Structure formats: structure tokens, C-alpha cells
Chains A and B, each alone.
Chain A
């Protein structure tokens, strides 16, 4: 039905090539390079302030970046490199068109409180793509079914628990039939007992072959769901690879001490 489940091709879906970003004098991203193939699930891990959320937000250009280039399916994100080496910001229309192909789920859900659950899902496909309400509604209801909330379709976000709101937010992003789904610490604002229901939904999406980039502090989950894991610290990509390698045999000292701290914290 969508490009989400298209088989992996030789060309990666997302190419992050030496991306750099500064806030004033502080370099928050330094020469970060990564690729994500269609069907991959990449988890970004690392300490707070390591730049992983900033990197994720660059992928749909919610954050600008000054150096390097991100491309999705061959299309540059947010900026147009000119032949003379300068960079030009793309038009609002071009940027919006790219974002329409990239779903995003936020830490604080960010549902639209004045719309009911079903309207939260249908508003963008109807308004942005001009799709007919009937088919969009059916797709939205199927997705609500998938995240276990079909019975809440006429509720408002304020009437739902945090876990339910986050599942709605995932369904909202998927109703746009994106090629790529970005998840930014989607369980960090949840009460501990609600984390599981959201992670279960994401695990089922991974099984469906949906391409995802996930910023998370849930290490056990990252290990289980990812096809690859990237560890960042101080704006740099320190190490990336298969989850077994990252969690069992880390090369770099930074990653080893991060894992030790994580395990120690988990045993407390």
C-alpha cells in the first residue's frame, strides 16, 4: 500500500553525510555521517546533550544544519547545494513536501487538542494531500485498530492517558503513509507503567518493515527492535553497528563507560 514496506535497494533511503550544526559558538553536531536503508530500524543512543535529538530533527528539517548534507531517497533535505559551493534554503513548499513523506512522533505527543482522535489522524492527509475524506477515514480507522484505540476515535486527546495519546500520535504519523518514521524519545514523558504499550506498537511496526530512526533511552528496547544502533556523544557519532556489537563488544571507551553506567543504573 505504501512505500514503507518496499524491499531494501542498494541505495540507502536516508544518507546523512558529514552533517554539522552550531548554536552560536557551540558545535552541537560535528561531521555526523550515517545511512539508513529502507526497512531498517536505526536507534540513536547516547547521553543527554549528545546531539541525537538534534540530528533526528535535522532529518525533517525542523532544525536547520549548516554543514554537510542529508538526503532522503536522493532528495536533499531543506537546502539546495549550489554549483559554486553556497547553500540555498529550499522553499516552504519544497520543505513541506518532504516533511509530508517523513512521519515524526514527539516526546510530548503534540496531538491537536481541538480535534478528536480521528480528526487528528485525517486532518493532514485531507488538507496536505487533498485526499478524499472517505478513504482517509478508513485508513485512519485501520491504524487506530492496529494501535488498539479504535474505540477512542471520537474522544479528545485530553480524555486519553499519555500512553494512549502517544499511540494516537504514532497512528497520526502513519496515516500520511510516510517513507520514514522518526521517533524522538517517545516514551520519556510517560509514566513507567505506560511505556510498554507504546514500545509494543513500535515493535510491531518494525516487524511490518517500516523504516524508522529512533532516539531512545530504552536500551533493552533499542537492542531488541533495531537493525543497527548508533552511539553519539558531544555531537559526534562515536560508534555504530549491529545491536549485538554495540551492546556486547563496544570498541570505544566512551561507549563502554556509557553502557556500564546504564547497567549500574538499571540494577539500582
Chain B
């Protein structure tokens, strides 16, 4: 066990970890907000909007994330659209996970009995207020477990950005591997850092589940 090697290269690993966290924050925000848009469109009363959203979901979840990143990073420049590797990675992960998270939100909303909406409307709430005050709070509580899964998947998927040379954690570990032959120490350390980040987010979600429990009606 070559601990000295890891300690000597700690700054590089920490920079990589910071970049991984930055990618994850960008993709988590993009996907949780984009998921809201997808769910809203999927449940629209206007058929064309539903079709567009359904098409988006199917394309996004039926193609690999790596291919999507390549399309944005290598494909779009031929159309004159240029973006950094970081932006490409965050955007691709936001788009794909918008599809997954949109379906999670939608599942939560359709699981709330229509009587809840009726009761809110009968009290004089407008449809938007009924959604915000009565339906969404119940739906989000129900989907915290699958939402947590998806958020953790996003964090781990940030490693894919190493393929377009974003200097994140996995990329850093590959650099270290080139410098010396300490693969065991390097990848074990990297795995532990991913574990720490993911477990932190999982812990926050557990806390949220405890604070906002699902109650029977």
C-alpha cells in the first residue's frame, strides 16, 4: 500500500473531486428542474405538447449518455455551436436525467387521488395553487426514494465526462495511473471519494424522508 503516493498527489485528487462536485451540482439542478418541465409537458392537456415530451423522454432514455455527450461536444461544432467540455457534460446529463426524473415526478403526481385536487378546487383554489400547495407536496414525498436513486446515479455518471477530458475525479485518477504504477491505491482512493460524495447526498435524502414522511389519507 503506497500511501505516500496518494498523499503526494492529494491536491490533484482534490481538484478532481471538486470538479466532480461541480459537474454533479450542475446536472442535479438541471435535471431536477428539467424533470419538472418534462412532467408538466407529459401531463399537459394539449396533445402536441404531450407528444413532444414523450418523444424527448424516449430519445433521451434509449441512447447512451456517452453518445449524447459526444453529440453535444463533437457533433454540434459542425453546426457552428461550440461549448466547453464541462458545459457539454452538464447539459447532456441534465437532458437525459430530465427524462428519468420527469417520469418520477409524473408517477408521483398520478399516484395522488383525484379527490385531493377536487377538494382543493372546492375550497376555491385555482388549479395552479392546488398543484403547488396540495398535490406537489404529497407527490414529492412519495417519490423521494426513487428521486434519491436517480440523484446518486447522476453523481456517479459524472465520471463519463473524463472521456472528453474534463478534469474531474476519474480523469485525475487516469493521470495518476500514467505517472506511476499504483492502480490499487489510486482507484481505491477514488472509489472512496465517490462513496463519500454519494453517501452525503443519500444522507440528505434520508433526512428529507424523515422530515417529510408520507402519511396515509
- Which chain A residue lies CB-closest to B127? A92
Please tell me if the beta carbons of B121 and A96 are within 8 angstroms of each other in the complex.
yes
Q: Which of A102, A110, A128 contacts B118 (CB 8 A)?
A: A110
Q: Is B122 an interface residue when CB atoms closer than 8 A count as contact? A: yes
- Distance (whole angstroms) from the CB of B116 to the closest CB of chain A: 7
Note all chain A residues with C-beta closer than 8 A to B46: none
Instruction: Report the bound CA distance from A176 to B120 in whole Å.
Output: 12
- Which chain B residue lies CB-closest to A92? B126
Q: Is the interface of B mostly helix, strand, loop or mixed?
A: helix
Instruction: Report the bound CA distance from A99 to B126 in whole Å.
Output: 10
| 8 Å CB interface, B97-133 against A | 115-116, 118-127, 129, 133
- Which chain A residue lies CB-closest to B133? A127
Q: Is B138 an interface residue when CB atoms closer than 8 A count as contact? A: yes
Q: Is A73 an interface residue when CB atoms closer than 8 A count as contact? A: no
Please tell me if the beta carbons of B216 and A158 are within 8 angstroms of each other in the complex.
yes
- Give the total number of A-B pairs whose CB atoms are below 8 A apart: 73
Given contacts A123-B133, A157-B215, contact A112 B116 (CB under 8 A): yes
Q: Chain A, 20-52, contact with B by CB distance < 8 Å: what is the 0/1 string?
A: 000000000000000000000000000000000
Instruction: Report the bound CA distance from A92 to B123 in whole Å.
Output: 13
Please tell me if the beta carbons of B116 and A99 are within 8 angstroms of each other in the complex.
no
Q: Is A8 an interface residue when CB atoms closer than 8 A count as contact? A: no
Please tell me if the beta carbons of B124 and A176 are within 8 angstroms of each other in the complex.
yes
Note all chain A residues with C-beta closer than 8 A to B120: 112, 124
Q: Which of A60, A97, A113 contacts B122 (CB 8 A)?
A: A60
In the complex, which range does the number of interface residues on chain B fall in? Answer: 20 to 34
Note all chain A residues with C-beta closer than 8 A to B118: 62, 106, 110
Note all chain A residues with C-beta closer than 8 A to B212: 114
Note all chain B residues with C-beta closer than 8 A to A113: 138, 215-217
Instruction: Report the bound CA distance from A183 to B39 in whole Å.
Output: 34
Please tell me if the beta carbons of B119 and A112 are within 8 angstroms of each other in the complex.
yes
The CB with the most chain B CB atoms within 10 A, among A62, A99, A113, is that of A113
Note all chain A residues with C-beta closer than 8 A to B197: none
| 8 Å CB interface, A53-73 against B | 60, 62
Note all chain B residues with C-beta closer than 8 A to A108: 115
Please tell me if the beta carbons of A124 and B215 are within 8 angstroms of each other in the complex.
no
Note all chain B residues with C-beta closer than 8 A to A247: none
- Which chain B residue lies CB-closest to A184? B122
Note all chain B residues with C-beta closer than 8 A to A103: 122
Q: Is B137 an interface residue when CB atoms closer than 8 A count as contact? A: yes
Note all chain A residues with C-beta closer than 8 A to B115: 106, 108, 110
Instruction: Report the bound CA distance from A101 to B216 in whole Å.
Output: 29
- Distance (whole angstroms) from the CB of B199 to the closest CB of chain A: 28
Instruction: Report the bound CA distance from A92 to B215 in whole Å.
Output: 30
Please tell me if the beta carbons of B215 and A156 are within 8 angstroms of each other in the complex.
yes
Please tell me if the beta carbons of A124 and B126 are within 8 angstroms of each other in the complex.
no
Instruction: Report the bound CA distance from A93 to B133 in whole Å.
Output: 17
Q: Is A111 an interface residue when CB atoms closer than 8 A count as contact? A: yes
Q: Chain A, 155-190, contact with B by CB distance < 8 Å: what is the 0/1 string?
A: 011100000000000001100100000000000000
- Which chain A residue lies CB-closest to B118? A62
Please tell me if the beta carbons of B116 and A62 are within 8 angstroms of each other in the complex.
no
Please tell me if the beta carbons of A114 and B119 are within 8 angstroms of each other in the complex.
no
- Which chain A residue lies CB-closest to B122? A104
Note all chain B residues with C-beta closer than 8 A to A100: 123-124
- Distance (whole angstroms) from the CB of B208 to the closest CB of chain A: 14
Note all chain A residues with C-beta closer than 8 A to B141: 114
Given contacts A108-B115, A112-B119, A113-B216, contact A124 B127 (CB under 8 A): no
Instruction: Report the bound CA distance from A96 to B126 in whole Å.
Output: 6
- Which chain B residue lies CB-closest to A99? B124
Please tell me if the beta carbons of B215 and A128 are within 8 angstroms of each other in the complex.
no
Please tell me if the beta carbons of B129 and A114 are within 8 angstroms of each other in the complex.
no
- Distance (whole angstroms) from the CB of A226 to the closest CB of chain B: 22
Q: Which 7 A-B pairs have the closest CB atoms?
A: A100-B124, A110-B119, A124-B123, A113-B217, A158-B216, A104-B122, A128-B124
**Additional A-B contact list (13), CB under 8 Å, known A112-B119, A113-B138, A128-B123:** A103-B122, A104-B119, A111-B119, A112-B134, A114-B138, A114-B212, A127-B129, A128-B125, A157-B215, A157-B217, A158-B215, A158-B216, A176-B124
Show the binding face of B for A, using Cβ within 8 Å.
Answer: 115-116, 118-127, 129, 133-134, 137-138, 141, 212, 215-217
**9 A–B contacts, CB within 8 A, in A order:** A100-B124, A106-B119, A112-B116, A113-B217, A114-B212, A123-B123, A128-B125, A156-B215, A157-B217
